[in-house]
Structure 1
């Protein structure tokens, strides 16, 4: 029985959604859910954090015409006649956030994609790279991408990546020629890029990467352990990979005195407790930051223009599973089916804490220290870091997981302004560099798309004010607890979404599912 369960988990890891039922179709955006775009929208009196790394400035008035920023009036006092005015005095305005690592879920845990879409928007996320949003014949990535672009659904701006062979008429990609043909097919179908799970041998991976560059498609890889013997991060970068997500492949490129990891005799990749408990111990096989090998590796990443999307948050339960299980938003905003998926399981990917010990958590905390060091040093030398959340696994729920990622980027050593930069212009540039274009969003500039976030509290002082549940603090004058923060408005393509109302919609979904349970 155990062998069959591990085999099922292995299939899910190789091709995450191929055998699953169809997700529900996203409903049309109802009348009144989001207002605009307006001929003229005026946002008055906010303090602006423009996403480029520039310091805050305010008050400013921002004039939006249809879906573009038309004017930025520093000092305020704009005399523009507007169809809609948002009074943002004392508030903060930022570019819309970009999640560079998104998934839709699946029918077993979150069957309606609008659940995740609304949670993303409610946390200020206006663009998401799906890696992917679906696979196989049930993949609706392009349909959802197009409907979002038309603003006929309530969703962030969507960028669709797919896995070699997971879509299209060619089947398994087993030759370089077939790999090139497949790349051309996904380009014609409307995909924006390719996500690799390290299943391709180097000669096929290299051909796909080369053709992807020719077709202006982005590339990013989860360099899974089964492939690192042939392709670690160093090899993948040398073959032309644009971006590395998660931690996979980095430490395997940095092992001291060996080409391969030294697995314990009882290691079993198909047993996820074994797999993830051992991952943390890999840090013990790697030298210290500042060593010659570290310096050479980081320099290689920077010379090749690689982007890192670390997704720190998605593994954070490894260092404190009790905290992750009891996060304060689960009761109101996490679907019961999602909580069931998160629970320890032999078949659900990521539910690996079957007998998770204080030794495992201590090992993961040590692993994070080196992972943080690697990311910070890469950033300090000029490397680009972006913010991706990989939601729907390991107690990380859409939207909330993204803000948790921003907090962990801060913990890794990015300054608050650098965190916002990672969440905005860096993410936009990762999406558009492969296209050869300057991104149309990601910063607050005249002519850019009106993708914006308005927050009552200062996120540079406390990133916790971005959580949909807000930040609880003691009012020292009244000696009473108060909750502040939460995104007030998210503006995508000039359409103004009421973030608290989106959260109430999600809460209603959760209550409805609870009521329907036996």
Structure 2
């Protein structure tokens, strides 16, 4: 049987570029969508988790003037402050954190999620106030820079958007195949308004090195998906040596840790362009690497920490591989996943990531085993001082916007992160990853006086149970009444001092889903 030829980076970019032309315009933010910013906003009585790793403390009042945090009043505010406020949010008994940062975002396409407004509202409804798109869209007609501008001005209902361009994409200058052309492309991208560059590792190392060097000169961030087609030449170790700022997913790590030979030992019938083959064999890498905790293992992690790279593992995006039935039947799909998106997720010969053509128990067990060294590597890197951030890569493999982001919290805890470390990764670390290349301090990511008022307020303690942050909440049995109750969810998300009701955002999404279902 001829295997399905369904994905390569070139095919992905070319088809996505066409798809972007048919995207629906994001509607303008209406006067009743979010309130503020206010001359004076007071959030009263919350327990604060400030994002730095400091322990929770409360009750505190947070005073916001226009779009910035003006004061943190421990124990409460003077009555004069309360009485003079334009709005008071009663967060008594609730928990307040910096707005979450998703460092690995995409928008959909006409075939699965035709309006980015869908994903933007889901992100905000889960407390995500900033997203790095890698890329939001593909091709010269993508709308990522327009959406970035409109979001910065709060003209649309959306998180703060940071736009990275895929290396060689979007511009009119033709293929990028030489170091000189690489530098020219980077200068073009910076002038166009992009914040950084996403690499798919398909170029010669001298071209990559030139692009990285030029990006650093122009204070642009860089992040790599070190795919199999280029990883034989540029592993994660090599990419960091060349100056890469960030590595996302698992690609490049296992290939840096091979115990027997310089190349991955693929089966003779392996076909990268067949998603079933590609993703089933990924998990078999776990049997080809050095022993976790060995001298070679520690040396690799030390080299990554010393190189100053940031890791964004995106554990969630592959989680269906270890239990596809659970991912396919997640309780939020019926109400919050568009039918077109659900159709995209189903096994297919043409959709990227839809590789469950004949997914077996053996495949799932292999993936469960693969997560063990991948998670240990990430946790060891963090414990040695490396920066880890939270990215969700939504819109693929049963991972829906917002819900996928909270799923990453749970998987980081599974990897060994303490709950406070997860929140730090989602807030301060994410902001620092975006702003470090710019050479300026991040203006959000922590609850500190002077920082932007990007905040998330939740009724349940997320440190006790991250499941309470899902938009669908968490089911808990009331032991006094013997009644099953649904608790949690984000209550308010504040971006730039504008207060969004997370419940209303979810209602908006539910209406989109219901409308498409008719």
* TM-score, scaled to structure 1: 0.98
Contact map agreement 1:98 1:128 (CA 8 A) in 2: yes
Contact map agreement 1:489 1:496 (CA 8 A) in 2: yes
Contact map agreement 2:6 2:351 (CA 8 A) in 1: no
Structure 2: runs of 5+ lacking an equivalent: none
Match of 2:459 in 1: 456
Query: Which digits, 9 at most, give the CA deviation of each residue in 1:231-250, with x for residues without a partner?
Result: 11111111100000000000
Within-5 A mapping of 1:42-441: 42-79=42-79, 80=81, 81-441=84-444
- Pairwise CA distance, 1:412: 0.4
Match of 1:24 in 2: 24
3-state SS, counterpart of residue 301 of structure 1: helix
- Pairwise CA distance, 1:19: 2.7
Residues 1:473 and 2:476 are matched in the alignment? yes
CA distance in 2, matches of 1:215, 1:473: 51
CA distance in 1, matches of 2:136, 2:77: 44
Residues 1:497 and 2:497 are matched in the alignment? no
Query: Which digits, 9 at most, give the CA deviation of each residue in 1:414-452, with x for residues without a partner?
Result: 000000000000000000000001100000000000000
- Pairwise CA distance, 1:477: 0.3
Indicate how the Cα distance of structure 1 residues 446 and 8 shifts in structure 2: closer, same or farther if over 3 A, else same. Answer: closer
- Pairwise CA distance, 1:2: 5.3
Residues 1:486 and 2:489 are matched in the alignment? yes
Contact map agreement 2:38 2:65 (CA 8 A) in 1: yes
3-state SS, counterpart of residue 355 of structure 2: coil
Residues 1:510 and 2:513 are matched in the alignment? yes
Contact map agreement 2:9 2:200 (CA 8 A) in 1: no
3-state SS, counterpart of residue 391 of structure 1: coil
CA distance in 2, matches of 1:456, 1:15: 44
Query: Which digits, 9 at most, give the CA deviation of each residue in 1:186-230, with x for residues without a partner?
Result: 111110000011111100000000000000000000000000111
CA distance in 2, matches of 1:373, 1:136: 37
CA distance in 1, matches of 2:102, 2:340: 24
Contact map agreement 1:9 1:347 (CA 8 A) in 2: no
- Pairwise CA distance, 1:23: 1.2
CA distance in 2, matches of 1:473, 1:215: 51
CA distance in 2, matches of 1:323, 1:46: 35
Contact map agreement 2:67 2:496 (CA 8 A) in 1: yes
Contact map agreement 2:492 2:500 (CA 8 A) in 1: yes
CA distance in 2, matches of 1:216, 1:264: 42
- Pairwise CA distance, 1:8: 6.1
* TM-score, scaled to structure 2: 0.98
CA distance in 1, matches of 2:255, 2:139: 31
- Pairwise CA distance, 1:13: 3.5
- Pairwise CA distance, 1:509: 0.1
Contact map agreement 1:345 1:351 (CA 8 A) in 2: yes
Contact map agreement 2:429 2:445 (CA 8 A) in 1: yes
Query: Which digits, 9 at most, give the CA deviation of each residue in 1:255-277, with x for residues without a partner?
Result: 00211000111111111101000
CA distance in 1, matches of 2:10, 2:37: 44
Contact map agreement 1:487 1:499 (CA 8 A) in 2: yes
3-state SS, counterpart of residue 18 of structure 1: helix
Contact map agreement 1:14 1:197 (CA 8 A) in 2: no
Query: Which digits, 9 at most, give the CA deviation of each residue in 1:459-486, with x for residues without a partner?
Result: 0000011000001010000001001100
- Pairwise CA distance, 1:492: 0.2
Contact map agreement 1:91 1:454 (CA 8 A) in 2: yes
Return 463-472 or 16-25, whichever deviates more. 16-25
Contact map agreement 1:123 1:467 (CA 8 A) in 2: yes
Contact map agreement 2:459 2:489 (CA 8 A) in 1: yes
Q: Supply the RMSD in Å over aligned alpha carbons.
A: 1.1
CA distance in 1, matches of 2:25, 2:263: 44
CA distance in 1, matches of 2:118, 2:274: 30
- Pairwise CA distance, 1:326: 0.1
Indicate how the Cα distance of structure 1 residues 255 and 15 shifts in structure 2: closer, same or farther if over 3 A, else same. Answer: farther
Return 130-139 or 462-471, whichever deviates more. 130-139
Query: Which digits, 9 at most, give the CA deviation of each residue in 1:131-184, with x for residues without a partner?
Result: 001111221111000000000000000000011121122121111111101111
CA distance in 1, matches of 2:412, 2:357: 28
3-state SS, counterpart of residue 319 of structure 2: helix
CA distance in 1, matches of 2:23, 2:438: 29
3-state SS, counterpart of residue 179 of structure 1: helix
Contact map agreement 2:459 2:488 (CA 8 A) in 1: yes
CA distance in 1, matches of 2:373, 2:250: 11
Query: Which digits, 9 at most, give the CA deviation of each residue in 1:381-420, with x for residues without a partner?
Result: 0000000000000000000000000110000000000000
